[in-house]
């Protein structure tokens, strides 16, 4: 069972580790350089009133995925960027779907 909630600052390091593994493998993200927990904390803080972030946690409270939406200057105002990341080896288990359900609700509020 996966639990989804907004991230807290303490999640940023685990989120960065998860994303960096995906970046290293390549092919599923446009990102090419490793990120730090500080990078993610800064991204979460930027446009905080116009973006939404969620993490997915397993039964042991480990971050197994995260997703965010935010405005993008090259998109119309009613559109947004969405980024989804699920721990390598844990895809196809409904983590992304659970994240998207929370993100869709947040997008409606935004």
Out of 3.30.70.330, 3.10.350.10, 3.40.630.30, 3.10.180.10, select the CATH number for domain 3-109.
Answer: 3.40.630.30
- Written as six digits, the tokens of 12 are 């940023």
78 or 62: which leads in pLDDT: 62
* One-letter-per-residue 3-state SS of the chain: CCEEECCCHHHHHHHHHHHHHHHHHCCCCCCCCCCCHHHHHHHHHCCCCCCEEEEEECCCCCEEEEEEEECCCCCCCCCCEEEEEECCCCCCCCHHHHHHHHHHHHHHHC
Q: What is the per-residue pLDDT for 54?
A: 97
- Please state the rounded mean pLDDT for residues 37-44: 93
Percent of the chain with pLDDT over 90: 69
Domain boundaries along the sequence of the chain:
3-109
Q: What is the pTM of this model?
A: 0.91
Please say whether the beta carbons of 57 and 63 come within 8 A: yes
């Amino acid at each position: 069972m996966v639990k989804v909630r907004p991230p807290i600052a303490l999640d940023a390091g685990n989120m960065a580790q998860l994303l960096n593994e995906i970046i290293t493998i390549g092919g599923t993200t446009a990102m090419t350089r490793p990120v730090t927990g500080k990078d993610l904390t800064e991204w979460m803080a930027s446009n905080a009133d116009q973006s939404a972030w969620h993490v997915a946690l397993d039964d042991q409270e480990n971050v197994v995925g995260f997703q965010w939406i935010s405005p993008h200057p090259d998109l119309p105002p009613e559109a947004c960027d969405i980024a989804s990341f699920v721990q390598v080896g844990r895809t196809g288990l409904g983590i992304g779907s659970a994240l998207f359900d929370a993100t869709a609700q947040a997008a409606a509020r935004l």
